[in-house]
Amino acid sequence: MLNHKISYSKRFTIIFEICLISTLISFITILRYVLYFLPNIELVTFFLLIFVLLFKNTFSFVLINSFCLVQIILFGQSDLFYFVIYNFYAIIIIVLRKNIFSYQYLLAILFFLFGILFGALYSFNYLIINNFNFKIMLAYYIKGIPFDLIHGIGNLLLFLFLYYPTQKIIKQFALNNTNLFNIKYLNNII
């Protein structure tokens, strides 16, 4: 049964959040397709984690899990483990959020480590699929180390080039939509 006593402003906020989530998911998905020809260089991690830094926690997790669901619909069940990886990354960012704005190089190093850790975390997918055969998981991980290094370096370079312009754009948007953003953290941006 629908609650008809929700105020007009609350309804507008809910509709706005749904539209914003769908727009951001579309944006990130298109970016994934555009850079798909580059091995392990992608903007998905960058934007998802920037959004985790700036949006409130519930909105961030809805955005991440909705994005992962869209990826499963588009790419199949092999992307199922992204739920675990991106939520794990988000929890790390949320825990470190207070210190990250003070030490933005910490965030750059974190993005580099996320690129390197991706293969290790994704190899657990092969552990589960192959009846907990650690040899297969280890072989998959070792085989992917060069790609993980490329992923880490790509994350680091993308962060260094895109962090400040992205922060400026998001801060301008956030000033008009204070109910979605962590305002106390936005005050530390630039």
The answer to whether residue 33 scores a pLDDT higher than 90 is no
Domain of 24 in residue numbering reads as 8-186
Percent of the chain with pLDDT over 90: 13
Confidence label for 126 from pLDDT (cuts 50, 70 and 90): confident
The answer to whether residue 162 scores a pLDDT higher than 50 is yes
Residues 6+ apart with CB under 8 A from 83: 65, 68
- The reply to whether 147 falls in a domain is yes
pLDDT digits (tens, 9 = 90+) for 133-153: 888 888 888 998 998 898 899
In the chain, the number of structural domains is 1
Are the C-beta atoms of residues 109 and 102 closer than 8 Å to each other? no
- The reply to whether 16 falls in a domain is yes
Q: What is the mean pLDDT of the chain?
A: 81
The answer to whether residue 119 scores a pLDDT higher than 70 is yes
User: CATH no. for residue 135?
Assistant: 1.10.1760
- The reply to whether 3 falls in a domain is no
- Cα–Cα dist 136/47, whole Å: 32
Confidence label for 66 from pLDDT (cuts 50, 70 and 90): very high
- The reply to whether 12 falls in a domain is yes
Query: Both tokens of residue 55?
Result: 């949006």
